[in-house]
Chains A and B, each alone.
Chain A
Amino acid sequence: MNEIIPIMVIVPLMAALLISAFSKFNKVTKIFAFVVALCLPLIPILSNYGLHYFGGYQPMLDNVTGVMYHPAITYSFTFLQQIFIAAIGLLTFLVIFIYLTKYKKVSGPYLFLLFLGTAAVTAMILTDDIFHMFVFFEILALAQVGIVAASSIDYSYEMALKYMILGSIGSPMMLLGIGFLLALTGSVNVSDIAAAVHAGLVNATSPVFLLSLALIFFGWLYASGLPPFHTIKSGIYSKAEPHGAALLQSFTVISMISIVLIMFRIYASLPIFEVLIVFFSILAMILGVSLALTQTDFRRMIGFLAVGELGFIGLGIGLGTNFSITAGLFQALNEIIITALLFIGFGAIVNATNEVDTRKLGGLLAYHPKVSIMLLIGGLAMAGVPPLSGFQSKLMLVQASLSCGYPELSILAIMVSIATFVVFVKTYYTMFLKPKPNDLDLENKEVPKAMIFAMGVLLVIVILLGVFPDVVTSGISNFVGGIL
């Protein structure tokens, strides 16, 4: 048993509570938040793989059925968890660094929400207990709503309430699905439920089992921002502070893969499961990129592009082979990094211009060359241009579609990538290359150095993952082999 594993959740959770309680001591709060945030990516990197059983209750043998069962909540820490927790930890650090350098007087509740969200997604990806995952999913939703409401952007409260109302319908549906699984198997441990399904103790074609799939799937669509929730998801990105949006999208991606991997372990034997995932993923890809094309608010544009990229992740997982799931999870990691880079980069532009409408911008390349170049590389990475990380994962997805016997899906993936490229180049030209409008004042407006530093760090990762994808994909592939 590995005692370090829960530390990854406890550290951000305790930091959130302490910062909230002692936020009136501004300088101490700043130093404490910085130090804790710095530790977040280091803890998973330094930890050993293993399992943690809460309360020390190890798996036990049921004398009646002869099956092993888990009496307590279990955390599982493998390469996949390590890489994603390290990524979210790094992003949290960069976002908190930007926030701390931006404001002289920091807000305790805002830092509380950032740490709380990080703790929630970390627990979601670690846990082997579906109800435990649901609890942190709800905590995450509250943190997300708080991050949006705390921004100074117009109509952020309205967007937060809309998101909350939809979430309050989606979450109980997921809980109802978990209730059905509990009724069928008597357990909420994912390994136990999966074992019961694979051993034939649960009739996989029974209406109750199918209903549980439908309900949990509905909750997953809400958590992931896949259609029909794509509009609200891109909406909350556009109403959050840019660095907050960078973190929010990473929360979305990790909650998406956490839930879908749990569903995969339980429902993989149902052919309808993979069909559903692929269907909604294709819908997300098409709607995301189409709606991005029509946006004039560049925050909203990135939000829709992020939704489209989620479709690629779903496509890989929905195809259901080791290679395709590896590609999907690699795409998830890339999306976290690339979209965060774009949100922070465009946030830097908002900071310098106080403008989000692309039609009112222009000529920014001459005034902010560093940001312009880093954003260009980030956009190209998202569109899948070699040798960047987005290219590697998208190439893997195209190969996976072909090897599964679905050339039409690979054609669609390529077309959506081209459309993403078009959307990005159009926006980039409007903002950076076309002549500066006369009424746009760009003199003496600098981009915060912390934002440039954060973009630089993310850009290095994008390039490294593009050049050396095997560092990540081989480990992910081993993990996927274990769950298949």
Chain B
Amino acid sequence: MAEVQLVILFTSVALVVIGLYSAIFLDNIIKKIIGISFIEEGVNLFIVAIGYKAGGIVPILMPGMDTTWFASNAAYPLPFGLVLTSIVIGASTLAVMLALVMVLYRRYGTLSTKVMLADTSKREEYNE
């Protein structure tokens, strides 16, 4: 495994762990959502790292290139395609989550999940 690839993998693990911590333990909904983004980006980075090839070339077959040479030197393109799709999905999810948060913020006037996502019975206690 290339050194660069190892560094990327450690970074992606760090992103996922920090993201999980924020999403599970922090009370502020925006911080939770930032944590969720960290998890998604960590996973995307991991998949990009799978396709990394030390000294590899961009996987686009240009006219005149020898196909055997291209096959042995090009980076693996499948992970990049997957990550591109994953980024789009992540952005859509993020947009929907933020839209829901906007509605709930207008209703409760707070970003605390303890208040806005509490059980119905507990919510009445917080309102008091």
Q: Report which A residues bind B (CB closer than 8 A).
A: 131, 135, 138-139, 141-142, 145-146, 149, 155, 157-158, 160-162, 164-165, 167-169, 171-172, 175-176, 179, 182-183, 186-188
Bound Cα distance A155, B23 (Å): 21
Are B50 and A183 in contact, CB atoms less than 8 angstroms apart? Answer: yes
Known: A176-B43, A179-B43, A182-B50. A169 touches B82 (CB 8 A): no
Residues of A within 8 A of B127 (CB): none
Bound Cα distance A138, B79 (Å): 18
Residues of B within 8 A of A168 (CB): 23, 36, 39-40, 93, 97
- Whether a CB of chain A sits under 8 angstroms from the CB of B60 is no
Task: Report how many A-B pairs have Cβ atoms within 8 Å.
Answer: 82
Closest to A167 in B: B93
Residues of A within 8 A of B96 (CB): 142, 145-146, 164
Range for the number of chain B residues in contact with chain A: 20 to 34
Main secondary structure of the interface of B (DSSP, over half): helix
Known: A135-B85, A175-B86. A142 touches B79 (CB 8 A): no
**Would you give the shortest CB distance from B98 to chain A, in whole angstroms?**
10
Complex partner residue of B89 from A138, A155, A161, A162, CB under 8 angstroms: A138
Known: A175-B86, A176-B16, A188-B78. A164 touches B93 (CB 8 A): yes
Starting from the known contacts A142-B96, A158-B116, A161-B97, 7 additional A-B residue pairs (CB-CB under 8 Å) come to A135-B89, A141-B93, A160-B100, A161-B29, A162-B117, A169-B23, A172-B39
Bound Cα distance A169, B24 (Å): 9
Q: Report which B residues bind A (CB closer than 8 A).
A: 16, 20, 23-24, 29, 32-33, 36, 39-40, 42-43, 46-47, 50, 76, 78-79, 82, 85-86, 89, 92-93, 96-97, 100-101, 103-104, 107, 116-117, 120
Are A186 and B76 in contact, CB atoms less than 8 angstroms apart? Answer: yes
Residues of A within 8 A of B33 (CB): 165
Closest to A162 in B: B117
Known: A142-B92, A182-B50. A149 touches B43 (CB 8 A): no
Bound Cα distance A204, B51 (Å): 22
Bound Cα distance A142, B99 (Å): 12
Closest to A179 in B: B47
Main secondary structure of the interface of A (DSSP, over half): helix
**Would you give the shortest CB distance from A219 to chain B, in whole angstroms?**
12
By Cβ-Cβ distance, the 9 closest A-B pairs, closest first, are A168-B36, A161-B100, A172-B43, A179-B47, A138-B89, A172-B39, A183-B50, A176-B43, A175-B43
Residues of B within 8 A of A164 (CB): 93, 96-97, 100
Bound Cα distance A145, B94 (Å): 13
- What are 10 of the A-B contact pairs (CB < 8 Å)? A131-B85, A142-B93, A158-B104, A158-B117, A161-B116, A164-B100, A175-B43, A176-B16, A176-B43, A182-B50
Residues of A within 8 A of B32 (CB): 165
Closest to A160 in B: B100
Are A161 and B101 in contact, CB atoms less than 8 angstroms apart? Answer: yes
Bound Cα distance A229, B53 (Å): 39
Complex partner residue of A161 from B20, B23, B24, B104, CB under 8 angstroms: B104
Bound Cα distance A155, B82 (Å): 36
**Would you give the shortest CB distance from B119 to chain A, in whole angstroms?**
9
Bound Cα distance A352, B23 (Å): 41
Residue from A155, A158, A186, A188 with most neighbouring chain B CB atoms (10 Å): A158
Are B97 and A179 in contact, CB atoms less than 8 angstroms apart? Answer: no
Residues of A within 8 A of B103 (CB): 157
Are A182 and B79 in contact, CB atoms less than 8 angstroms apart? Answer: yes
Bound Cα distance A187, B79 (Å): 9
Residues of A within 8 A of B36 (CB): 165, 168-169
Residues of A within 8 A of B101 (CB): 161
Residues of A within 8 A of B120 (CB): 155
